[in-house]
Amino acid sequence: MPRGTFGFSRASFSVFARVNVMGSLEETCVSLRAQISATEEQLAGLKRDLALAEAQTERENQETRGRWPLLPEEYKRYGRQMIVSQVGLQGQLKLRSAKVLLVGAGGLGCPAAQYLAGAGVGTIGLIDGDTVEVSNLHRQVLHRTANVGKYKVDSAIESLRDLNPHPKYVAHRTHLTPEESPAIFKDYDIILDCTDNPATRYLISDTAVLCGKPLVSASALRTEGQLMVLNNPPRAPSDKTGGPCYRCVFPKPPPADSVVSCADGGIIGPVVGTMGVLQALEAIKVITAPEVVEGTARPRDPPSLHIFSAYSSPLVRTIRLRSRRANCAVCSAEATVSLDTIKSGSTDYVFFCGSASLPSLLSPEERISAREYNQKYSVPSGSPPSHTVIDVRDEAQFGICSLKNSINIPISSVLASNYAKPAHGQEANQIPPWVPPELANNTDSTSPIYVVCRLGNDSQIVVKKMKELGLDQHGKRFIGDISGGLRSWKEQVDPEWPEY
């Protein structure tokens, strides 16, 4: 048998090496466990030290206050709002002892948190699992360019501490889940819904009702926003004196394919900022409201839906809301949703609101990738186009960037048309007016037509519509879309294509 350098057989040396490696790994695992244990002990010690320091700080503050309930610096800081009769000293003390949770640290959560911190709310919790992106900065006013890539809650708290070091800030670096929502909500007095999707809105409202917390809910898109104060006053399910919940106002969610996000629909920064500031205002009103003693205090504001429109007059319209629905799934005597069904997952919010992903309307043969399209139709400058490209984004997006020789036909014009598929023998002038003249007046052409949009969803709808109108000449003319839209164009063809 052949021998190695040290007299071992090659097989024996291999076994020896493996044993050494395994031993080394085991030693590493033992070392890491010991380090983790030591770190956990150190963390527990730091938490104890922090609790002692906070308690000592509170004792010193009490001594500093003496016979005055606020610190001298707090009188200066909050004096302008304390002299407002609706707040006063007692209202300021209520704000200092209040605990507010904001679900979302984006366009709504940033201005809301900013004004709540400025007002002196004692504890402000922020829950958000996203990180800061450059596209957030035009409207999410707590974040800074230097904080791109950071957790939004960390970025927001950094700015809030610069504004006001007195409140306690709590970071929840996660997306809200049904399993965790009850445990998180129980530590707060009032909840602000600063999210942007229906499933989370229903989860927040259901949990707030079942945990007995009033809820301030807002939304914003493009130039419009909505605001409601829900479950106010907070009452147990079946108690008709409680305020309505989100399900009372919207028993059924909107169709999944009708929900538009800020990324798709756009948003003007001051619009979402206005709604966030109004959320902070409503939260302050709820916190500082006088104790309800029959015959001595004014009744609470009736539940209302406030609709803001930046380009309308008046800017705000208010619709009075009804009280709790008699058959509400959460806050009525017939309630079917409970904390147990939420935590167990049997109340399925994604299923209730429907899938957000749109199904493909076209077959693979009706679609072409951005790369394939570019390779097929990359012709020298000045050559006449051998096909037609229709861009169905709105005019504002088309003005930002567009493919060469493309024709802009907004999908809104296509969907607004009541024209049906032409019957056999119909003349071209009966084709809908949104169809370009070069297509409407040249129905014998077989040059292909490609439809493109931003993400590859709207383009599929328009392709189907054009085929229903018979523009494909019963299959003689190709009509399809560029799969993935202009986002795929940037990824596959032109890295310098503007991303918005």
The catalytic site residues sit at 262, 453
Give start and end residues of each alpha helix (H) in 212-337: 246-249, 262-265, 269-288
CA–CA distance from 260 to each of 93, 220, 267 (Å)?
Answer: 41, 11, 11
76 is in an annotated binding site: no
Report the Cα–Cα distance between both ends of the chain, in Å, rounded: 70
Count CA atoms within 13 Å of residue 384 on its CB side.
2
- Rounded-to-integer distance, Cα 213 and Cα 233, Å: 9
Cβ(272)–Cβ(108) below 8 Å: yes
93 is in an annotated binding site: no
Sign of CA dihedral 444, 450, 452, 456: positive
Instruction: Extract the tokens encoding 26.
Output: 């085991």
Sign of CA dihedral 174, 179, 184, 185: positive
399 is in an annotated binding site: no
Sign of CA dihedral 272, 278, 279, 281: positive
- Rounded-to-integer distance, Cα 68 and Cα 56, Å: 18
107 is in an annotated binding site: yes
162 is in an annotated binding site: no
401 is in an annotated binding site: no
331 is in an annotated binding site: yes
328 is in an annotated binding site: yes
Instruction: Extract the tokens encoding 250.
Output: 């919207």
CA–CA distance from 141 to each of 138, 156, 250, 404 (Å)?
Answer: 7, 9, 30, 37
* Closest alpha carbon to 280 in 488, 141, 460, 444: 141
Cβ(102)–Cβ(112) below 8 Å: yes
Q: What are phi and psi for residue 259, nearest 5 degrees?
A: -80, 125
197 is in an annotated binding site: yes
CA–CA distance from 420 to each of 414, 470, 471 (Å)?
Answer: 11, 10, 12
What single letter denotes the amino acid at residue 393? R
Cβ(103)–Cβ(207) below 8 Å: no
355 is in an annotated binding site: no
147 is in an annotated binding site: no
Question: Which residue positions form the known binding site for ATP?
Answer: 107, 128, 135-139, 152, 196-197
Question: Which residue positions form the known binding site for Zn(2+)?
Answer: 245, 248, 328, 331
Question: Which residue positions form the known binding site?
Answer: 107, 128, 135-139, 152, 196-197, 245, 248, 328, 331
